[in-house]
Every structure is written in C-alpha cells, then in structure tokens.
Amino acid sequence: MRRPSEGDTIAAIATPFGEGGLGVVRISGPRALEIARRIFRPRRPPEELPSHRPRYGDIVDPRTGEVIDEVLLTYMRAPKTYTREDVVEISGHGGYLVLERILEVVLQQGAREALPGEFTKRAFLAGRIDLAQAEAVLDLIQARSEEALKLAQHQLRGRLSEEVEALKRRVLELLVPVEAWIDMPEEDIPPPSRQELRHGAEELLERVEELLQGYHQGEIYREGVRTAILGKANVGKSSLFNRLLGRPRAIVTPLPGTTTDVIEETLVLAGIPFRLMDMAGMSSPRDLVEEEGVKLAREQAKQADLLLLMVDRSRPLDEEDRRLFEKVDRWGRPTLLVVNKIDLPAAFSEEAVEGPRTVATFSISALTGEGVKELSEGMVEAVLKGRVKRETAELVPLNLRHKRVLEGVRASLEGLLEGLRGGMDWDLVALELKNSLDLLGEIVGETTPEEVLEEIFSRFCVGK
C-alpha cells in the first residue's frame, strides 16, 4: 500500500452543495504549497505563506489573470495537519459555482480530484488516527442525535481503540509463554499453565460479551429506529405524524387516500432518533396510484424496527382491520396498538380489541394531543425493552463491522476454552490466540483487508 507522502496531491470542495456564507476548497499533498503560490495573490505583502496563519487575498486563474474570488487561504505545513501532508484550505464565498471555479484552477495546476473519504484515509495511512477513529469521523458527520454525537466523539478520542489495545495486551500475555514453550523446547522453560490460560480466556470472553451487549443500544443512537405509522385510510396517521413532530409536516384532510407516498422525518425521544414514516392507508385501493402507495407502505412496514398500528375508535372494527392485524402478526415486528380519536364517541372499547400481538396499547387523540406523551414514552420503552439502559458515557461505541469482528473473537475464545478442556495441542492453542489477536487488529486497521478499507472510506463524502 502506498504511503501518503508518495501519493498525488488531491483537492476537493469540503463544504456541502448549496449556498452559504463560506465555502472551503481543501488541497493535500506534496504539491499543495506550490499550487497555492501559483493561484493565490495576497492583498498585502509579504508574499510568502507562513504555516497555520490565514492570509487574505485573491484566487486568480494563472492562464488568464482573471480574479475568481477573494478568499482567506491557510497553508499548513506537514506533519501538523489532518493528513500529515502539506495542506492548503481556501475559504471563499459559499456559492457552489465559485467553489467549482476555484477547484477547477487547482486541478489545472496539477492536483487531482479527491475520492470519497480520501483525506481521512490519508490521515489513517499516515498513522494520525486508527481505523476506528476514522470511522468515528463519518459517525460524527452523520450523527442524528446528541447521544449519537457523544458516542462518535468518544470513538474519535480513542475509547474503542483503548478497549481493543487492552484486549490485545491480555491476549499477548497468554500467547507469549505458549510460543516460548513451542519455539524453545531445549530451554529450561516451564510449560504454560492450562488453568491460567482458561482463566485468562474466560476474562477476555467476559469483556468481549460486555462490549457486544452495549452494541445494540449504541446502534439505536447511531442508526435510529425505523418507525412506521400504519393503519387503514383516514384513521389519523398523518395527524399523529404531525403531532409527534410538533409541526404540520404531512397533509391532513377528511378525504381518505390523501397520503400516497412515504414521508419520513426524524424525531428524537430520550436521545433516540425515531425515523418516523407516514404512509398510505392499508385499505383496498381505489385506483392505480393508491395501489402503488399501499404496496410501498407494506414493504416499508415489513422492514421497520417498530410499528405504530392505528385504529379509529369512533368507527367499528371491520374486516379490513382484522386482515391488517393478521398481516402485522405475520411480519413479526414490535408493535404498539394506537387507538385514536378518543375525543369522539366510542364505537368499541379498547378491551374488546382482538388485535395483533402487541408490546402495549395506547389510547390517544391525535387531534387534541391527549395520550401522545404516554405513547412517546411507550415508544422509548419498547425500543429499550429487555436491555439495561446505559448512560452514553458508559457505552463503548461499536458499529456493525466492529460487532462482527468481536463475534469472531468470541468464537475463537470459545473454541480455545473448549480445546483447553479437552487437552488441545499447544500449536492449536497458539493458533487460536493469534487468530483473536489478528481479529482485534482488524478493528483498529492493523490487519484489515484492503477491500474492507476501500468499502469503509467509500461511504465518506468527497472532501473529508
């Protein structure tokens, strides 16, 4: 794998598409300073560009002398930079057209456009951050709640990396006497203690289990909970959607079939992002548009993490309600039964509802807001049910990749314990310990396959 210092000079727009007060073009690599000198004209002397000090001036097209934008340009000399290469950041006006023009002249002077995540990948390859910290950069950008932001910050500061290093040190403590016994049989070295190895492997397995148990709560904060509001047409789904959000996001009319597409918004409750989905009513469609809306609603509901199944208490339950109950049962998703319109005369009692298997039932009025607070609390409880809720500070941030690697470590340690109980050969004991060590190295990027690295950094935006 090429070292960053041997690579090309790369450049990209580092701020989001759109209009804004400021926009940034970032350059990194051995020719960054050379390119900056060619295109930047300071408004005041001196002409040189001192490291880590912004200079005011103009970006100029060297071919025509045209002034493209007035900017603040900051040159940062390696290795005290994000990538540990020479870096130049050009802060100009935030219109995307002007930023594209600045990037264009940078590329004309010998840089190439950066790939997604290439700046962060260079930081990783240069040893400034490890792979778990690099992934935290993406989590930080994509955080949907304060809790997700805190977890990403913990990971960026090395919380997971510290845990991994502690596990690796313990594995090495177990491995060294085993390898010494295998490699130097002629020396007067006592054989490893199987009892001490079992005790050490059990301790490691216990800590790995603790880390895995915290994964699900952390993943809830990071990814959010896909929450589908479903029911027949006109039971109040859009009204509940708006009520939960606290603003009129979905169109509400007395006419059935108003919602034909899936509308998604994020609602944060107790630090958990609920990705609310309002969708078409699960009733017999009257035309092709409604038929497509019902089909889409059904597919989204099947994939949801939580269902809010609504019925209208002011109308008797009918065959369509019962068919929907049966479908929800077959999908097997955690479900809250929401009995709406308690502000109107009741056509049935909640106790009489022979609904699907549900986590709980809540009676509400989406119109007045009565009962919605209790429903919100029930949504949080349903998501955390069966889990010991931990404070964010106690959680070690894990993503799905980390989880799968740790599951591999767990399997290796379980195999080691079983082998030790059965008199496993020392070569195989060493092999299981080395396998655990290699797997742990994958988390921080020491032994991670190249194709995994490429997949991770491809998820980043260009410019980061």
CATH number of residue 181's parent domain: 1.20.120.430
- DSSP state letter for 51: B
Q: Looking at residue 288, what is its pLDDT?
A: 58
Give mean pLDDT, residues 451-455: 90
Q: Considering the domain boundaries, does residue 389 fall inside one?
A: no
Q: Looking at residue 221, what is its pLDDT?
A: 84
**pLDDT for residue 109 is more than 70:** yes
CATH number of residue 103's parent domain: 3.30.1360.120
CB-based contacts of 77, cutoff 8 Å, min separation 6: 33, 51, 52, 86
Residues 162 and 15 in one domain: no
**pLDDT for residue 292 is more than 70:** no
Residue 404's CB: how many other CB atoms inside 10 A? Answer: 12
Q: Looking at residue 5, what is its pLDDT?
A: 42
Residues 299 and 168 in one domain: no
Enumerate the H helices of 86-189 as residue ranges.
96-108, 118-125, 131-142, 146-156, 159-183
Q: Which of 128, 146, 178 is the last residue of a domain?
A: 128
* 5 or 398, higher pLDDT: 398
Amino acid letter, 58: D
Q: Looking at residue 246, what is its pLDDT?
A: 85
Mean pLDDT is lowest, of 161-175, 267-281, 348-362, 371-385, for: 348-362
Number of domains in the chain: 3
Residues 207 and 152 in one domain: yes
Q: Considering the domain boundaries, does residue 248 fall inside one?
A: yes
Give mean pLDDT, residues 176-192: 80
- Interval 370-415: pLDDT, tens: 999 999 999 999 888 756 566 777 778 888 899 999 999 999 999 9
**For residues 336 and 307, is the Cβ–Cβ distance under 8 A?**
yes
Residues 20 and 116 in one domain: yes
Long-range contacts of 344-350 (CB under 8 A, 24+ apart): 344/313, 344/314, 345/314, 346/313, 346/314, 347/313, 347/314, 347/315, 347/316, 348/313, 348/316, 348/317, 350/313
Q: Considering the domain boundaries, does residue 450 fall inside one?
A: no
**For residues 412 and 174, is the Cβ–Cβ distance under 8 A?**
no
Q: Considering the domain boundaries, does residue 373 fall inside one?
A: yes
Residues 244 and 349 in one domain: yes
- Interval 196-210: pLDDT, tens: 999 999 999 999 999
Q: How far is CA 395 from the centre of its chain?
A: 15
Q: Considering the domain boundaries, does residue 76 fall inside one?
A: yes
Give mean pLDDT, residues 332-343: 89
**pLDDT for residue 72 is more than 70:** yes
Q: How confident is the model at residue 444 (pLDDT cuts 50, 70, 90)?
A: very high
Q: Considering the domain boundaries, does residue 455 fall inside one?
A: no
Q: Looking at residue 18, what is its pLDDT?
A: 78
Residues 198 and 234 in one domain: no
Q: Looking at residue 406, what is its pLDDT?
A: 95
> How many residues are listed for the chain in this entry?
464
Mean pLDDT is lowest, of 278-282, 283-287, 355-359, 402-406, for: 283-287
- Interval 296-320: pLDDT, tens: 767 777 778 899 998 888 888 888 8
Q: How confident is the model at residue 96 (pLDDT cuts 50, 70, 90)?
A: confident
**pLDDT for residue 164 is more than 50:** yes
Q: How confident is the model at residue 134 (pLDDT cuts 50, 70, 90)?
A: very high
Residues 375 and 249 in one domain: yes
Mean pLDDT (the chain) is 86
Q: How confident is the model at residue 151 (pLDDT cuts 50, 70, 90)?
A: confident
Q: How confident is the model at residue 258 (pLDDT cuts 50, 70, 90)?
A: very low
* 196 or 463, higher pLDDT: 196
- Encode burial over 229-238: b for 16+ CB neighbours within 10 A, e otherwise: bbbbbbbbbb
Its domain, for residue 354, covers: 224-384
Residues 325 and 231 in one domain: yes
Give mean pLDDT, residues 79-92: 96
Q: How confident is the model at residue 150 (pLDDT cuts 50, 70, 90)?
A: confident
Per DSSP, the three-state class of 29 is: coil
Q: How confident is the model at residue 290 (pLDDT cuts 50, 70, 90)?
A: low
Q: Looking at residue 373, what is its pLDDT?
A: 94
Percent pLDDT > 70 in the chain is 88
CATH number of residue 230's parent domain: 3.40.50.300
Q: Considering the domain boundaries, does residue 34 fall inside one?
A: yes
Residues 71 and 113 in one domain: yes
**For residues 328 and 311, is the Cβ–Cβ distance under 8 A?**
no
Q: Which of 108, 128, 148 is the last residue of a domain?
A: 128
Q: Which of 71, 104, 128 is the last residue of a domain?
A: 128
Token digits of residue 164: 């991994």
Residues 276 and 368 in one domain: yes
**pLDDT for residue 356 is more than 50:** yes
Q: Considering the domain boundaries, does residue 457 fall inside one?
A: no
**pLDDT for residue 40 is more than 60:** yes
Residues 247 and 280 in one domain: yes
Residues 344 and 379 in one domain: yes
What's the predicted TM-score (pTM) here?
A: 0.77
Q: Looking at residue 256, what is its pLDDT?
A: 46
d(CA 39, CA 399): 42
